[in-house]
Amino acid sequence: MGSEQTGTGRVTVFPLTHHWPDRRCLVAYTTTGHFGTTAIVGILPVPELEHPDLLAVAADHHPQGLYGSRGGHEIACAGWVICTGWSARIGGSGPRLDIKSTAWSLRLDRRITLDKQMYGHDVLHTGTFALDDGELAKQALQLVR
C-alpha cells in the first residue's frame, strides 16, 4: 500500500518480544476513525532491532484457536495484533509509554477489514509508525535500550 496516515490522539508504545527469548521490537497502538473503530498498530523503527511484520508474528502464535477460522487466517492474525496493542494499553505490567495526546504518522503496509468487531475495532492498519514529537520518540526508544 505505502500510503501515509496521520492523526493526533492517545498513543501507547511498548516493547514486544516477537521471537523468544531475545528478539524484540517497539510497537505503537492508537485508534482513529469514528469512535476509534480503526486500530492503528505499527512498528517504531529502532536501528539495532528487527522490524518484523506484525501479522507474521501473529501467525506464529496460531491465533485461529482464539479468534476462530471463520473469517480466515488473516482475520485471526488481525485479532491477535489488535489484542496485543489493546492489552498493552489497559494492562498494568511491563514497560510502556502511554501518551495522552500526540501527533503521529503511519506508513501503511496492510489494511484488514474485520468480519466482526474486535476490541471495539472494525479495521486494522499496520505499518511503520512514527511519533512527531522528537522528545517523545526518545522516551519511547528508552523502552528497549
* Percent of the chain at pLDDT exceeding 90: 72
Per-residue cell: 130? 512514527
Distance CA 18, CA 25 (A): 7
Beta pairing class for 121-131 and 97-118: antiparallel
- Least confident stretch, 27-31, 75-79, 97-101: 75-79
* Comparison of pLDDT for 62 and 34, the residue scoring more: 34
Report how many domains make up the chain: 1
This prediction has a pTM of: 0.92
State the average pLDDT for the chain. 91
Q: How far apart are CA 54 and CA 78, in angstroms?
A: 9
Does residue 19 surpass a pLDDT of 90? Answer: no
| Cα separation, 126 vs 17, whole angstroms | 17
Q: Average pLDDT in the 93-121 region?
A: 94
Residue 33: domain span: 4-141
Q: What percentage of the chain reaches a pLDDT higher than 70?
A: 93
Please give the distance of CA 59 from its chain centroid, rounded to a whole number. 15
For residues 37-57, average pLDDT:
95
pLDDT at 66 over 70: no
Q: Are strands 4-19 and 23-32 parallel, antiparallel or unpaired?
A: antiparallel
80-87: average pLDDT: 94
DSSP bridge pairs for 39 = 31, 124
Please give the distance of CA 88 from its chain centroid, rounded to a whole number. 10
pLDDT grade for 9, boundaries at 50, 70 and 90 = very high
Instruction: Examine the pLDDT at 132 and tell me if it is beyond 60.
Output: yes
How far, in Å, CA of 95 to CA of 92, rounded?
A: 9
